[in-house]
Amino acid sequence: MAPEPCIPSSGKTYIDDMLNMKDQSNIDSGISDVTEFYDGCNVLLTGGSGFIGKLLVEKLLRTCSSMGKLYMLLRAKKGKTPAQRFKEQLEDPLYDRLRREQPNFADKVVIIEGDTGEKNLGLSSTARDFLVKNTHIVFHGAATVRFDESLRKVVNINVRGVKLMLLLAKEMKNLKAFVHVSTAYSHCNLDYIEEKYYKPAMDPDKAISMVDMLDDEVLQHITPRVIGSWPNTYAFSKAVGEDVVRLYSRGLPTCIVRPSIVLSTMKEPVAGWSDNLYGATGVSVGAYVCLLRVLHCEAEKTAEMIPADFVINNVIVAAWDVNKLWNEKKMAIEPVGRSDLEVSQPPIYNCVSSCQKPLTWNDFMHLNYINGIDVPSRLTLWYHVFILTKYKWFYNFAILFLHLIPAIIVDNLARLTGRKPMLLRTYQKIHKFSGVIAYFCTKQWKFNNDNVLRLWKRTSLTDQKKFDFNVKNLDWNDYFLYHIRGIRVYLLKDPMSTVEQGRAKYKLLNAVCGWLHSLRYFDVRSSAETVNVSWSIL
């Protein structure tokens, strides 16, 4: 029997499908090559407290129950020990299904104190020796994902950290696979991104030496020149990090997985789960509660996004695949007397959706709209209006009237009533966020994912069901039904039992501003052209 989701009964009818934890016996009845690969293997995971890392922990422990130990590299943070941080992590609803199916799953997890941003990975000599002797598979997902991070920090974590992890892996005598998680936008300075290595803006070792020698003031001054055509330090560092893999993975069974913009889960372990407001999810949340009302974005450009569980499945299967390919190469070269595999470059898997199921930004916002209107939140702030415009001048004009002036009015009313003014400061943060993602909303890329498609063909039918990463199986209409409800439940903490309250508030707001319903296009005329700006009214 499928376990009951932990939601109020009054909201159950809305998200039965979203949280349906189905029995996997029909899948497990076949032989799983991937699961067998993990049997008895000890896995080292970095970045296990991040969005992707949490899902990877859950999926590995739930589907590969015969694996050995899961070593999680965690650092102390905000006065909490690594063990305390992991204990808090397990309280997330993400692990409810795992907790029901395998109550003692935490016994498999071994917390290793360390920090990929430190020069020695923050490892004690004892911990290092332990990992060298016992690790079979490494997933390196630790990274700073802030686009505006300092050059020193991104190089230390996203470049030096990769190098140190690979050097550690070289000492592991029992290593079967090393998977580095990068991003599909590591080379976003190009228009066409294939599953191959490109020349980064800087040699990795020179980048590391640079941050070791120069102080923060000098680094800040030279950052624009250093990152060159890359839009931010994050993308720059991920490109350099991939070159680290190319240079330092020789002799190791290694691969790179490049996910695009990662959204909430499609179906596993629960549909619609997310724990952050990064990227496109932040846009969805802002539009859903009517805080974000205009975005600098070209509506017909492709929104390159991928559900998180597709990424996790791709990562898990990639480890099995790179080990298999590595062993096949070893068998092929041994008869002719060659004993090394250093001439081959690690494969790259572009985990993207646009090659098979493209989605435009206009589609993205429309699907958010039609699903959001069905379950309006009681946290809605305004009447629902959202504008996508490719014109920066009009974007600046719109935020003045749709964001800033209303924020000033509300903040002044707050002061008069003795409350703390917050809205203007919130919009300042939103505009900073919008400025960062505008680069990805106003450009078009073409991706190649042939390696991923070939990997899918090499995967057995049992594993295709157990570890589905084929975007051909993705239905965007179904996805956004759960995506919006996941935003309510997991991000806004607004239970489905409050839907009627949300509808009442929605009706009131639209009664006050009902005239906006008649607007579908707003023409802004200049001396040279007419700008048609689509209005999507939730």
> Can you list the domains of the chain with their CATH numbers?
32-276+305-333+343-357+445-476 (3.40.50.720)
Q: For residue 455, count CB atoms less than 10 angstroms from its CB and return exposed for 0-12, middle for 13-18, buried for 19 or more.
A: buried
Q: How confident is the model at residue 1 (pLDDT cuts 50, 70, 90)?
A: very low
pLDDT beyond 80 at 63: yes
Estimate to the nearest angstrom the gap between the alpha carbon of 458 and the chain centroid.
26
Of the pLDDT bands very low, low, confident and very high (cuts 50, 70, 90), residue 342 is low
Mean pLDDT calculated for residue range 138-142: 96
pLDDT for 344 equals 73
CB atoms inside a 10 Å sphere around CB 502: 19
pLDDT at position 425 is: 92
For the record, the structure tokens of 38 come out as 């993990």
- Which amino acid type is present at position 340? D
DSSP label of 250: T
Consecutive H or E run containing 255? strand 254-259
Q: Which of 138, 210, 211 is nearest to 179 (CA)?
A: 138
Please, which residues bridge with residue 77 across strands? 80
**3-class SS at 189?**
coil
Using an 8 Å Cβ cutoff, are 508 and 517 in contact?
no
CA distance 285 to 277: 7
Asked if residues 499 and 70 have their Cβ atoms less than 8 Å apart, the reply is: no
DSSP, res 525: E
Cα separation of the two ends of the chain: 38
pTM (two decimals): 0.88
Confidence (pLDDT) at 338: 52
Split at pLDDT 50, 70, 90, the class of 331 is: confident
306 touches 352 (CB < 8 A): yes
Pair 310, 474: CB distance under 8 Å: yes
The percent of residues in the chain predicted with pLDDT above 70, rounded, is: 87
